[in-house]
Amino acid sequence: MNVVISVDMEGVCGVASWVQVSPPEFGGLVNGAEYQAARERMTREAAAAAEGALAGGATGVLINDSHDTMRNLLPELLPQGVRFTSGHDRPLSMVQGVEAPGVGALLFVGYHARAGSMRGPLAHTWNGFVRNVRINGRDTGEYGLNALLAGHYGVPVVFAAGDDVAMGEIRAELGEGVVTVAVKEGLSSFAAIHLHPQEAQRLIREGAEQAVRASASAQPYTTRWPAQVQLSFDHQARADQCERVPGVTRVDAVTVGWESDNAFHLFQTFRMLAKVGEVRLNG
């Protein structure tokens, strides 16, 4: 069985500031020193998950770089034999690879809480101006969108690592069967209590092995179809733009809605509207 590991950065141990997750060309300070340290810890956590997955019986591992420009991983720190993705604008974005034959499980590493979450370090959904995503009345985050898309291909989420707020949200939405590892405890949007990085990596390795060993009984995540989806922004001007897309309706000043018959349509519509909403707010 092959597995895919989707690794983000905001939920990685030791991270609590946007500076740490921003490459130098996008705002990282001190010549990117904090970003370089965070990307190394991101890579080591992904490597730990890969090692655990292989110990748990996986025959192949694809590590999907899922943060920002999606070119953050340091390949030399990954276990030999794994493959990894690099580069943004991929067809399935953060879960590229789940559509491939033989993939039986999806693992999340470095995941964060959804936008608006209390005490979730760097909590957000997709970008800085999505305020909320609601699917059939349930608020969700990147974890829910990605889990639904993986479920479209019959692939269950079996493991997640990140901050404690995100882990609680993932268990509540995807089910208690998902093995979770909290590598830090959120204190506020920009503060957390962290495990030692080596301890975080050990727990990730052990949790991933446990999750992959038990993956045969895991069920893909799904919802009721057709699904009613609502996307809320931080400013009405973004909803103004999205309202003009065929099939999209205005719900309120900052919210638009649409209906999807399957998770692929839902996910790609969300991505498109998030892009359409990238408008200048100064006219």
- Give me the residue label for tokens 């019986």: 57
Is 235 among the catalytic positions? no
CA angle in degrees (0–180, nearest 5) for 101-104-109: 115
Do 212 and 58 touch, CB atoms closer than 8 A?
A: yes
Can you give the pLDDT at residue 25? 66
Residue 229's SS3 state is strand
Q: What confidence category does residue 33 fall into, taking pLDDT thresholds of 50, 70 and 90?
A: confident
Question: How is residue 10 written in tokens?
Answer: 């905001």
145 has a pLDDT exceeding 80: yes
**Whole-model pTM?**
0.96
Residues 6+ apart with CB under 8 A from 6: 64, 66, 94, 95, 106, 107, 108, 109, 146
Region of poorest pLDDT, from 19-23, 166-170, 256-260 = 19-23
CA 283 to chain centre: 32
Kind plus residue range of the DSSP H or E element containing 19 = none
Residues 6+ apart with CB under 8 A from 140: 114, 133, 134, 173
Q: Is 112 annotated as a binding residue?
A: yes
Question: How is residue 4 written in tokens?
Answer: 């895919």
Q: Which of 124, 152, 194, 265 is catalytic?
A: 124
Q: Is 176 annotated as a binding residue?
A: no
89 has a pLDDT exceeding 70: yes
Positive/negative CA dihedral, 6, 7, 10, 15:
positive
The strand order across the sheet containing 249-252 reads 138-140, 130-135, 227-233, 255-260, 249-252
Q: What percent of the chain has pLDDT over 90?
A: 93
Mean pLDDT over the full length of the chain: 96
Residue 20's SS3 state is helix
Residues 6+ apart with CB under 8 A from 99: 92, 153
Q: Using one digit for the tens of pLDDT, what is the confidence trace for 59-70? A: 999 999 999 999
CA 262 to chain centre: 20
Q: Using one digit for the tens of pLDDT, what is the confidence trace for 258-277? A: 999 999 999 999 999 999 99
Can you give the pLDDT at residue 31? 55
Please, what are the domains in the chain? 2-130+140-217 (3.40.50.10780), 227-276 (no CATH)
Q: Is 99 annotated as a binding residue?
A: no
Which residues share a beta bridge with 180?
160
